[in-house]
Structure 1
Amino acid sequence: MSYIDRCQNLKLAFDSGASDIDNMEFLEYQFHSLAHDILPGKTNYYCESHKLDLIENMLSDNEIGEIQNDVHIEDVIVEENQNFTYKILKPKGNDSVKKVTFILHGFNEKTWDKYLPWGQAICEKTQCAVVFFPIAFHMQRAPKHWSDKKAMFELSKKRKDQFPNIIGSSLSNVAISMRLHSKPQRFIWSGLQSYYDIIQFIEECKSGKHELIDKDFSFDIFAYSIGGFLAEILKLTNYRNYFNETKLCLFCSGAVFNRLSPVSKFILDSEVNVALYSYLVEHFNSFLKKDNLLHHYIEEDHLEGKVLHTMLEYKNRRHFREALFKKVENQIYAIALKGDSVFPTYEIENTLKGASRDINIKVEELDFPYSYSHENPFPMNKQESQNVEESLNIVFNKVCDFFKQ
């Protein structure tokens, strides 16, 4: 079977819930995010871990919020982000799963299509179950309207009229670009919600509430692009020592936020990139002083917030970040691509190996014998189908060898 045929069969099975795919099966489960009430859209907040009432003192939205109200609905009321389904791919016949690999996807992703052969390779080569867990407001956690091609094409036209010098605006990225441009703090809060959701998932499994996953299960993480940002925070924070034995494999990922180049018609446009950099890097300390809620989660007794903060800007608390990476240097492996302009290899190395190159995290650079990009490392190209298949096998043989060490 060709690579393209295999991808199409996997997509059909994933979408339809077919139970037999080369001795593997997809199963679907429901999830309710308990952390959704941390999101923008309220005035009064409550930190359960500190029994503390908090008030958001955030600046008002940018004027671009006027363009399309159904894109700028308040985050806290988006039903799809609170209650959603997720899929697990597992070897057929295993009624109780004791080993899991999470797949964490990239920024502005709307479908799992490209990840399905990745998950199949991991499941087949390690015989563990693969959890396709969506980040907040991505994949099945976003309103379908944000992916409506006609509506988003019209919205992109309006955005280009408003910003004549904009680069990279497209129907694919206009919804997320407008939302983050209007409220750059969404990057922080949706990231923290995603962090808490995965912790919630792990704790539900450990308490025996998951019908498939054994309460004594172990798990690793395969993370791509911005998913690696979330995975690094999870690993370095090591909440309640849940991640003591977790191995983290980063693919096209690993650098801190201010060393990325995310302007692309598939990721973010240039206007929101400037707004995010201004908020998260140049003026973040100023916002921390003005916003009680933000200050509590980033500057006070929340290690996840402190780790997130150091992952935003290379020089910020660099020694703190590098000491955390040093502790887990044997449990992290990164694969970079020579042709990746979003996560360049040298920036991944700067973060993972440290400024003095004294952190022994393996960063391996690969290149493929066909045209590829960060967003599409294994393209559906009939003429290059065999080369793409071989390259995918090379990558995931390395990934799975690392997981099995």
Structure 2
Amino acid sequence: MNIELVEYPFESLSYNILPGTDDYECIKHHLKLKNTAQFHTEVGTIHDNVHIKDICVNENRFFNYQIIKPKNNDVAKKVIFLLHGFNERDWTKYLPWAENICEGTGSHVVLFPLAFHMQRAPKHWSSKRDMYKLSEERKKRYPNIINSTLSNVAISMRLHAMPQRFIYSGLQTYHDIIQLIEEFKSGKNPHINKDFQFDIFAYSIGGFLAQILKLTNYKNYFSDAKMCLFCSGTTFNRFSSVSKFILDSEANVALYSFLIEHFDKFLKQDAILKHYILEDHLEGEVFHAMLDYQKMRVFREDLLKKHEDQIYAITLRKDHVIPSFEIINTLQGAYRDINIKVEELDFDRDYTHEDPFPATKHNSEEISKDFKMVFKKVCDFYNA
């Protein structure tokens, strides 16, 4: 099958939920909200090129998304949204994944970036020289830090200073995807039929967002959507995200402290966060339920049961970031009474969560065979 990549502009209309201003408005409730949480940078340092106010990052508001499509099929009735992992800067790893899904299903595959990731992050955050320098400074400031690298220093500094960014950027991306679906439904993209059907393929943290979208089921848009999770599916507190490619240990501790250990107290201090998490926003309630395995478990598991026939997870045995058994615990429930198929695979070679199919000449035939096997299972799930 001949395939091609096309690109379209997008403006996030939900960017104004982000930190960086004093006055907010909830459109749903026609409610004016006052920011009661202070905007933070790291103690003892100000790097304006990293600690930019979120609401002012134009790359995150205006960007292009890509579609991988069959060359001779101009208007799609079948679409698959591909959601990527945490702290990603370019789509190189994912293009073969998207091409394979496109070829195996005949669907158009939409590559949509999470807020402040991929093309939605300032290019400066990917400058090797500047990020190396920041990482070295960070190691001096925190002598016991683990896995601070030029690859993760920008996102680690930002989440260390303001862990609530994890929620705000997640909610922004949630609303962006709904906005994109509604743009497709209104005929704004010439390659997508207004009556299109869609599914989701989500990897790593992309699966966390995918579950919130699926379980919230805004306006029943997601009622018929199949969701395939690859190396994903747990609640937030069952990730192990300290990695030279994901987060350093200081950022991870701050994030865990904020989202898991003291979240209820922080909600009392932040009027805007409290509104979106606790006050008549189902997406916020589901987000809350996906943070801590122990909390809101019955609520979360009841939602998963509703969609058990439409969810399929592929896990990898040697995945130390999002382990198989934690994915099973979340998706199949504490009492294993949710009939979501979770299939654990293993490869007879070295691999990591961050790079399951490394682009290397060593073991290239074996890697290619593993890749084809995984994506045949993915396509079979969508085609069933």
- The one-letter amino acid of 1:58's match is A
Name the counterpart of 2:267.
Answer: 288
What do the CA deviations read for 1:256-303 (whole angstroms, capped 9, x no partner)? 000110000000000000000000011110111121111110001100
Equivalent positions of 1:230-241 (< 5 A) are 230-241=209-220
Contact 1:247 / 1:332 at 8 angstroms: preserved in 2?
A: yes
TM-score scaled to structure 2, two decimals?
0.99
Using the alignment, how far apart are the partners of 1:50 and 1:211 within structure 2? 33
Contact 2:20 / 2:39 at 8 angstroms: preserved in 1?
A: no
- The one-letter amino acid of 1:335's match is I
Name the counterpart of 2:231.
Answer: 252
Q: Secondary structure at the match of 2:68?
A: strand
Contact 1:332 / 1:362 at 8 angstroms: preserved in 2?
A: yes
Contact 2:42 / 2:160 at 8 angstroms: preserved in 1?
A: no
* Aligned: 1:374 with 2:365: no
Using the alignment, how far apart are the partners of 2:326 and 2:3 within structure 1? 37
Name the counterpart of 2:302.
Answer: 323
Task: Return the match for 1:54 from 24, 33, 37.
Answer: 33
Task: Return the match for 1:135 from 111, 114, 119.
Answer: 114
Using the alignment, how far apart are the partners of 2:342 and 2:88 within structure 1? 25
Name the counterpart of 1:8.
Answer: none
Compute the displacement of 1:62 (Å): 5.2
Name the counterpart of 1:159.
Answer: 138
Using the alignment, how far apart are the partners of 2:103 and 2:23 within structure 1? 47
Name the counterpart of 1:11.
Answer: none
- The one-letter amino acid of 1:90's match is K
Runs of at least 4 residues off by over 4 Å = none
Using the alignment, how far apart are the partners of 2:96 and 2:144 within structure 1? 38
Contact 1:233 / 1:304 at 8 angstroms: preserved in 2?
A: yes
- The one-letter amino acid of 2:134's match is L
Task: Return the match for 2:341 from 362, 376, 379.
Answer: 362
Q: Secondary structure at the match of 1:377?
A: coil
Name the counterpart of 2:368.
Answer: 389
Compute the displacement of 1:79 (Å): 0.5
What do the CA deviations read for 1:115-140 (whole angstroms, capped 9, x no partner)? 01100110000010000000000000
Using the alignment, how far apart are the partners of 1:60 and 1:121 within structure 2? 43
Using the alignment, how far apart are the partners of 1:166 and 1:394 within structure 2? 38
Name the counterpart of 2:68.
Answer: 89
* Aligned: 1:270 with 2:249: yes
Using the alignment, how far apart are the partners of 2:334 and 2:41 within structure 1? 37
Contact 1:160 / 1:166 at 8 angstroms: preserved in 2?
A: yes
Contact 1:122 / 1:130 at 8 angstroms: preserved in 2?
A: yes
Using the alignment, how far apart are the partners of 1:65 and 1:58 within structure 2? 19
Q: Secondary structure at the match of 1:279?
A: helix
Contact 1:156 / 1:171 at 8 angstroms: preserved in 2?
A: yes
Using the alignment, how far apart are the partners of 2:72 and 2:239 within structure 1? 42
Q: Secondary structure at the match of 2:93?
A: helix
* Aligned: 1:168 with 2:117: no
Task: Return the match for 1:299 from 261, 264, 278.
Answer: 278
Name the counterpart of 1:71.
Answer: 50
What do the CA deviations read for 1:26-71 (whole angstroms, capped 9, x no partner)? 0010000000000000111001111000112114525447242210
What do the CA deviations read for 1:12-33 (whole angstroms, capped 9, x no partner)? xxxxxxxxxx500100100000
What do the CA deviations read for 1:136-190 (whole angstroms, capped 9, x no partner)? 0000000000000000000000000000010010000000000000000000000
TM-score scaled to structure 1, two decimals?
0.94
Question: RMSD of aligned C-alpha atoms?
Answer: 0.9
Name the counterpart of 1:7.
Answer: none
Q: Secondary structure at the match of 1:66?
A: coil
Using the alignment, how far apart are the partners of 2:262 and 2:103 within structure 1? 46
- The one-letter amino acid of 1:390's match is K
Using the alignment, how far apart are the partners of 2:282 and 2:376 within structure 1? 34
Contact 1:65 / 1:178 at 8 angstroms: preserved in 2?
A: no
* Aligned: 1:352 with 2:342: no
Using the alignment, how far apart are the partners of 1:271 and 1:197 within structure 2? 30
Using the alignment, how far apart are the partners of 2:349 and 2:111 within structure 1? 28
Equivalent positions of 1:171-250 (< 5 A) are 171-250=150-229
How many residue pairs align between the two structures?
384
Q: Secondary structure at the match of 1:114?
A: coil
Which consecutive residues of structure 2, in runs of 5 or more, have no partner in the other structure? none
